[in-house]
Structure 1
């Protein structure tokens, strides 16, 4: 009985380290229908493409800015970072998107599967995850007003 309880406890402890965390603080209503994205050359171009598509699908016009652009270059500016890992297959292990309104932080979405271990949920397609983050980060469609 004791060894069974110890085995179950050990298994639960091991699985607790296989966590995927996602936090989103949505942006408040935006007056602008344009979102400027500061390009990050250290991240796969497919991330920016998916990010732009997700915003466009919500009615936003996207303008790409050079990596050294100021956060006040546009009324609404966004930065991003992401990384990939290999574990049986390549997967996006981390993504962080920050939205600034007039240069001040207005919203943030973070996806962290770096401690995903045996959690098979980490193999979600990057574009699907990026779209999910954008949908939560921008809950209001551009021009809806509320």
Structure 2
């Protein structure tokens, strides 16, 4: 009985390191329907494309800014970063989207599956996860 309990405890402890974390602080209402996104050439282009599509579906107009552009370029500006890893298949291990209003942080969404280990949830499609993050980050349609 004790050895069985010990095995279960060890298994639970090992699986506790297989966590995927997601944290979203939604933005407040914006008067602007334009969101400027500062390009990050270190991230796969498909991330920007998915981010742009998710915002467009919510009624926002997206303006792509060159890498290194100042946050004061637009009233609502966003930056992003993401990384992919290989574990039986490629998956998005980390994503971070920050939204600024008048160059001050206004919202943030972070997804971290880098410690996902044996958690099969980490294999969610990147576009689906990005859309989920945007839906939580921008809970209202543009202008509402």
Same fold (TM over 0.5): yes
Misfit runs of 4+, over 6 Å: none
Report the CA distance between 1:66 and its aligned residue: 0.3
Kept after mapping to 1: 8 A contact 2:74/2:102:
yes
Structure 1 alignment gaps of length 5 or more? none
Report the CA distance between 1:104 and its aligned residue: 0.1
Aligned residue runs from structure 1 range 1-146, under 5 A: 1-144=1-144
Tell me the TM-score normalized by structure 2.
1.00
Query: Partners of 2:16 and 2:126 in 1: how far apart?
Result: 24
Report the CA distance between 1:143 and its aligned residue: 1.4
Residues 73-100 of structure 1, C-alpha deviations (whole Å, 9 max, x = no match)? 0000000000000000000000000000
Kept after mapping to 1: 8 A contact 2:80/2:98:
yes
Query: Partners of 1:143 and 1:41 in 2: how far apart?
Result: 30
Residues 98-120 of structure 1, C-alpha deviations (whole Å, 9 max, x = no match)? 00000000000000000000000
Please, what is the CA RMSD of the aligned residues?
0.3
Kept after mapping to 1: 8 A contact 2:29/2:143:
no
Report the CA distance between 1:59 and its aligned residue: 0.1
Tell me the TM-score normalized by structure 1.
0.98
Structure 2 alignment gaps of length 5 or more? none
Query: Partners of 1:83 and 1:131 in 2: how far apart?
Result: 16
